Structure 1
Amino acid sequence: MSETALDLKDVCLSLDGNAGRVEILRDLTLQVERGETVGLVGPSGSGKSSLLMVMGGLERATSGQVSALGRDLSAAGEDALARFRRTHMGVVFQSFHLIGTMTALENVATPLELAGHRDAFDRALQELEAVGLRDRADHYPKQMSGGEQQRVALARAAAPRPDILLADEPTGNLDGTTGAMIMDLLFDLRERHGSTLVLVTHAPELAARCDRVIRLVDGRIDAAGGGA
């Protein structure tokens, strides 16, 4: 398997808005090695979250090539992308995205069940224990604090033991103390599973924990502020 986890070549992303066509990413080339931790920083609207979505195949690039673990995501259909993410990627969002009608345990176990793991609930319970929520396994999201919900989201992303973890402002909706705890857990999970981590953040102290920091400005990598 390739030593490069993510390989983007001349990637552009354009989206149609109310004011017409908007250029989000511009001729962006970037490589992330297996096991590396990378922080994506930059002002609001610079394209950080869009870049993360393109890396995960959640947003399709307008042009250029996006590869993950040697697999060309640009040429893959939606079903193939979903299967690839289910097996190889974990994604953590700022807004948790938990299913309100499912318990914490069910939220974590569901992607494992979809991937065909017969021990889905046992593994889900192990991941909840790893984030300190074993005793909250039967609780629903509305019965949990924001920090607890994000810990469930972390457990869900880590449960498949993904090769790549993508995190989009995972502490953005949390207070400072809770956010620091979440980041400690995220880096611990990455270390435990040996995953590649790409993290979007506005927090300098969080970016500083990464092996490399890449700054985006107007959809391009700022050569003065970090890069490939």
Structure 2
Amino acid sequence: MSDPVLSLTDATLSLEGNAGRVEILHGITLDVQRGETLGLVGPSGSGKSSLLMLMGGLERATGGHVNALGQDLTTMSEDQLARFRRGNMGIVFQSFHLIPTMTALENVATPLELAGHRDAFDRARAELQAVGLADRADHYPSQMSGGEQQRVALARASAPRPAILLADEPTGNLDGANGAAIIELLFGLRDRHGATLVLVTHAPELASRCDRVVHLRDGRIDEMANGLTEAAQ
């Protein structure tokens, strides 16, 4: 088997809270292969989003190792992590995180400009067209529906053609029809760019589209639930 795109070895995460140190993730060991679509599921508070943040270098593991594309994220500085994400990862959040003072086109073009692409705006227009928003390019986030804003966020994440696409509850703030449309777009963008996709979801219909599903509970991989899922497949 080829080298995994993402590899976590005994990764832990703890954060300081008002009541002291809180253990979020406990000894996570997990590989994600190139081109795979992995769903992270589990009850609220199980550590799904925290695990995704470790994979993206948005949280730093307090123990163990997190490797992405052969690079050890746990040894990188914040600047190195930012540059690595910019060149290799696209991240989609539940709450969109668009820049309110920028148009849809500018939001999508910004990461391309930061990466030094001279054709940033041409590529941004192409990505907006791919998500069905060519006619909304000059609109601001406040002028768009939630479904449209999430489409812009998808276009922004996929525009740099990342090797890894991470999505945290991408349909969580959307109604059924918009959520279904976003699912189709997300998998379409994955296929178009050949990205490895890891997503956090509570939606069974989204999890069922994944090549593999990993269940988490209390900050650990739930081996019993994962065994039942594999048996059902």
> TM range, normalised to the smaller chain?
over 0.9
C-alpha distance in 2, partners of 1:205/1:151? 19
Separation in structure 2 between the aligned mates of residue 99 and residue 172 of structure 1, nearest angstrom? 20
Task: Structure 2: give runs of 5+ residues left out of the alignment.
Answer: none
Return the offset for 1:16: 1.2
- The 5 A counterparts of 1:47-196 are 47-196=47-196
CA distance in 2, matches of 1:189, 1:3: 23
**Structure 1 vs Structure 2 CA RMSD:** 1.1
| Corresponding position: 1:25 with 2:36 | no
Pairwise CA distance, 1:19: 2.1
The letter of the residue matching 1:28 is I
For residue 140 of structure 2, what is the amino acid of its counterpart? Y
Deviations 1:148-197 (A, max 9, x none): 00000000000000000000001100001100100100000001000000
Alignment of 1:13 onto 2:25? no
User: Gapped runs of 5+ residues in structure 1?
Assistant: none
Identical-residue share of aligned pairs (%): 77
**Consecutive aligned runs of 4 or more in structure 1 exceeding 2 Å deviation:** none
Matched to 2:148, the amino acid is E
Moved more, 72-81 or 151-160: 72-81
Instruction: Give distance in 2, aligned partners of 1:223 and 1:60.
Output: 24
The count of aligned residue pairs is 227
Matches of 1:44 and 1:19, distance apart in 2: 20
| Cα distance in structure 1, aligned partners of 2:171 and 2:102 | 23
Offset from partner CA, 1:65-109 (integer Å, 9 cap, x none): 000000111101111111110010000000000000000000000
